[in-house]
Structure 1
Amino acid sequence: MSINHENIVPFKMVTPEQKMALRQREKTVPLTEWSDEDLMLIFGEGNEEAFGELVRRYERSIFNYMFRMVHNWHIAEELTQEVFMAIVSSAERYQPTAKFSTYLYTIASNIVSKEWTKQNRKPRFFSLSQWWHSSDNSNDDHEWNPVEHHADPHLDVWRDTKCTEISEAINKALKKIPERQREAFVLRRFLELPYEEIANILDVPLGTAKTRVLRAERALRPYLEHFREYLNEQ
């Protein structure tokens, strides 16, 4: 998958004069205060510290995305490294025609798709600690609200056991959802990306991105009816 520049509002292409201004700015402004796009530009000009700052900003989120898609720690690490290697390879050709995060997650999405093809298997999926009951209003942007996915160290034994049961139920349900719906779901509900950005990453119309998330949410509901009473208490 590649970024479809025709479907996004482009930034201005960088001129030689703008690149010169960026070089001057390097001398006075800490890299922590630079935008992602400008960091990528000066990395392309040879500033390796700029790449380090981008890695610092995005390494964890890219790893989390990969782990949730393949559910294997070592494979997720390898795929995360592959994403940043792709960034290195493309640095000299980079132009800020979209938000850097869109550019980055498009690369990540493409790499995940290749991994699924290479393994010739359905991906295993992330675990959730619990699931909140949601309203029946299909137009509500917050129709499905997964709780924080990391383990809560203060959960008592009963609650922890119940969370594990719910996680297993969701994992089984997710395996029945088409890959395109799963990916849109993860980008929206776990990475919390706006629908516009998800549409750009997946190279689909905005309405299609919203529909994929909604269909994934609806498909999960029947599998969690058994836990309705518990979830309504949370």
Structure 2
Amino acid sequence: MRPVLESFGVNRHHEETLVNPDDALDASLTNSKDGQSPPAAKAEFSDEALMAAYASGNLQAFEALYLRHKDPLLRYFIRQVSPRETAEELFQETWQSLIKNAKSYKSSAKFTTYLYTIAHSRLVDFYRKNGRLGEFAMDDQYAELEATKDSQPERLLDLSQLGEQLLAALDQLAAAQKEVFILKFEAGMTVPEIAESLGDNAEAVKSRLRYAIANLKGFFKAEELKVESN
């Protein structure tokens, strides 16, 4: 555990000032008057319980959260930022910010929403510093897509059929569309959760998601035409 924590600036001295990890985790999940953990505590700990435990000083809880979310979070940055080294820096900064502000976390907040709010902030800062913030603006030249009232964005594209071409296709999307697509299909977040993380409204997120899916469909249709013409 120590190498993981030390990579984010949590050193041995800091570790020794914290409470016993098992005590902190037990305390965060114990609700009954007799001090026994409820049945749910025997199941896998939720993200929110682990974050609350880490905020109370539980280093093991942080490691569990890190191992659970490091891969999708890293992909979130790699899909949107190059070179990879820069994406990894933003990844590190996100975890460092979470560590720094752990005590301000409210257990009523969904952890993934909290994590990707921080990640989005780092991403926006990166675009701003590089004079590319305008890329996050919605592209108004797209015509409004027609969709039935009961259609869901995730039903409009069969990801299982995309294969490795998906990465190339994602590079064709506007930044705002790419981000919501990644949060939906890589991080597994719902539209309301994405909206909360981005500080936007759900309808705007749905619109970007539909644009992204329509453009991805167009990309793959064009690729099919190229193959057929060769």
**TM-score normalised to the size of structure 2?**
0.66
Summarize the Cα distance change of 1:56–1:83 in structure 2 as closer, same or farther, 3 Å threshold: same
The aligned residue for residue 143 of structure 1 is 156
The aligned residue for residue 182 of structure 1 is 178
**After TM superposition, what 4+ stretches of structure 1 lie above 4 angstroms from structure 2?**
23-32, 148-151
Summarize the Cα distance change of 1:103–1:93 in structure 2 as closer, same or farther, 3 Å threshold: same
**Shift of residue 217, structure 1, vs aligned partner:** 2.1
Is the 1:137–1:143 contact (alpha carbons within 8 Å) kept by the matching residues of 2?
Answer: no
What is the aligned-residue RMSD (CA, Å)? 3.7
The aligned amino acid for 2:212 is A
Residues 10-64 of structure 1: CA deviation (Å, up to 9, x unaligned): xxxxxxxx99942868997989832211211221121111111110111111101
The aligned amino acid for 1:173 is Q
The aligned amino acid for 2:157 is W
Is the 1:31–1:53 contact (alpha carbons within 8 Å) kept by the matching residues of 2?
Answer: no
Is the 1:39–1:51 contact (alpha carbons within 8 Å) kept by the matching residues of 2?
Answer: yes
Summarize the Cα distance change of 1:211–1:120 in structure 2 as closer, same or farther, 3 Å threshold: same
Determine helix, strand or coil for the equivalent of 1:53: helix
In structure 2, C-alpha distance between the alignment counterparts of 1:217 and 1:38, rounded to whole Å:
34
The aligned residue for residue 125 of structure 1 is none
Q: Which has the higher contact order (CA 8 A, sep 6+)?
A: 1
- Larger deviation, residues 69-78 vs 137-146: 137-146
Structure 1: segments with no counterpart, 5+ residues: 1-17, 123-135, 152-162
- State how many pairs are aligned: 187
Summarize the Cα distance change of 1:34–1:228 in structure 2 as closer, same or farther, 3 Å threshold: same
**Shift of residue 146, structure 1, vs aligned partner:** 3.0
The aligned residue for residue 172 of structure 2 is 173
Structure 2: segments with no counterpart, 5+ residues: 1-23, 134-144
In structure 2, C-alpha distance between the alignment counterparts of 1:68 and 1:100, rounded to whole Å:
22
The aligned residue for residue 28 of structure 2 is 22
1:198 to 175, 178, 194: 194
In structure 2, C-alpha distance between the alignment counterparts of 1:82 and 1:31, rounded to whole Å:
33
In structure 1, C-alpha distance between the alignment counterparts of 2:220 and 2:162, rounded to whole Å:
16
**Shift of residue 90, structure 1, vs aligned partner:** 0.8
Is the 2:113–2:196 contact (alpha carbons within 8 Å) kept by the matching residues of 1?
Answer: yes
What fraction of aligned residue pairs are identical, expressed as a percent?
27
Residues 67-102 of structure 1: CA deviation (Å, up to 9, x unaligned): 111143212221111111111111122212321111
The aligned amino acid for 2:158 is N
Residues 110-143 of structure 1: CA deviation (Å, up to 9, x unaligned): 1111111122348xxxxxxxxxxxxx97343211
The aligned residue for residue 74 of structure 1 is 85
Determine helix, strand or coil for the equivalent of 1:33: coil
In structure 2, C-alpha distance between the alignment counterparts of 1:226 and 1:49, rounded to whole Å:
49
